[in-house]
Amino acid sequence: MILILLMKFDTPLIKTKFIKRYKRFFVDVMLNDEILTAHCPNSGSMMGLLNEGEYAWISESKNTERKLKYTLEILEYNKEKVGVNTHLTNRIVEEALINKKIKELEKFDQVKREVKFNDNTRFDFLVSNKNEQAFVEVKNVTLKREIDCAEFPDAPTTRGQKHLLELINAKEKKYQAYLIFLIQREDCNIFRISKDIDKKYYENFIQAKKKGVKFLCYSSKVTDKEIILNKKIEIKY
């Protein structure tokens, strides 16, 4: 029997209103006429989500040694909840892998996190069975500029460019290689690479596809209680 472990928030989230983001990793929010500062666990641009007055959901840490006791977890846009905490992305995917919710990877029964590939690269997961091994890299997606369409990246990413080349390298070393785009929102049914934002990432993406790297995309069901894998999303090449 498979143990189902959902990505539930450790404590109830607090509903606030977004004011601003600054210095990349700080956000100010309003709660009952009081301004609170929270940690922003997202290094991307968060394009389209930083709208003053929209609802922002934050968590409160019980760790008294933390500099900031609040963390930004969810931003709303047009009443749609969007998960912005990139530290949760791998946890959501790991639980989906363990519970075999990703059909393309359900043949693998062993899941290892943060596995070293070479001196310069660790991939998010190594999944395996008796006959096969596959490296899996995961990218968090929040960008939506057009109706129904999610995009990645939301800012140029040299790290992401490198990961694509390393997945090609893994494929050449006889591993299977996958990249999962996890959309932390429910209002998208197609996905594409935002080549106008990062042309080099798009070029590496096309090269990786030609070399046999496999790409998957899934949306998430986002609530103030939990974030879980939702459904497979079509990738537009």
Residue 203 has pLDDT above 70, yes or no: yes
Q: Are residues 57 and 118 in the same domain?
A: no
Q: Are residues 32 and 94 in the same domain?
A: no
Q: Which residue has the tokens 């959901």?
A: 57
5 in a structural domain: no
Tell me the longest C-alpha to C-alpha distance in the chain: 59
For residue 220, give the CATH number of its domain: 3.40.1350.60
Q: Are residues 208 and 102 in the same domain?
A: yes
Q: Are residues 68 and 92 in the same domain?
A: no
**What is the pTM for the complete model shown?**
0.95
CB 71 within 8 A of CB 57: no
Residue 69 has pLDDT above 60, yes or no: yes
Name residue 14's beta-bridge partners: 58
Q: Which residue has the tokens 């893994």?
A: 170
What is the number of alpha carbons within 13 Å of residue 17 lying toward its C-beta?
A: 9
Q: Are residues 51 and 134 in the same domain?
A: no
CA nearest neighbour of 93 among 193, 183, 173, 190: 183
Which of these three, 30, 49, 82, is where a domain ends? 82
Q: Are residues 137 and 226 in the same domain?
A: yes
Which of these three, 26, 58, 82, is where a domain ends? 82
The average pLDDT across 53-65 equals 95
Q: Are residues 112 and 195 in the same domain?
A: yes
The rounded distance, in Å, linking the Cα atoms of 163 and 225 is 32
Residue range 78-122, pLDDT digits in tens: 999 999 999 999 999 999 999 999 999 999 999 999 999 999 999
User: 25 or 4, which is more confident?
Assistant: 25
Burial status of residue 84 (CB atoms within 10 A of its CB: 0-12, 13-18, 19 or more): buried
6 in a structural domain: no
Terminus-to-terminus CA distance in the chain, angstroms? 38
Structural domain that includes position 66: 14-82
The rounded distance, in Å, linking the Cα atoms of 202 and 193 is 6
The rounded distance, in Å, linking the Cα atoms of 44 and 134 is 27
Q: Are residues 90 and 170 in the same domain?
A: yes
Residue range 128-163, pLDDT digits in tens: 999 999 999 999 999 999 999 999 999 999 999 999
9 in a structural domain: no
Q: Are residues 217 and 175 in the same domain?
A: yes
Band (6; pLDDT cuts 50, 70, 90): low
The rounded distance, in Å, linking the Cα atoms of 216 and 136 is 10
For residue 35, give the CATH number of its domain: 2.40.50.580
The rounded distance, in Å, linking the Cα atoms of 172 and 26 is 41
- Residue 4: predicted pLDDT: 47
Find the helix or strand (DSSP H, E) in which 200 lies. helix 199-210
The average pLDDT across 59-63 equals 94
4 in a structural domain: no
What is the number of domains present in the chain?
A: 2
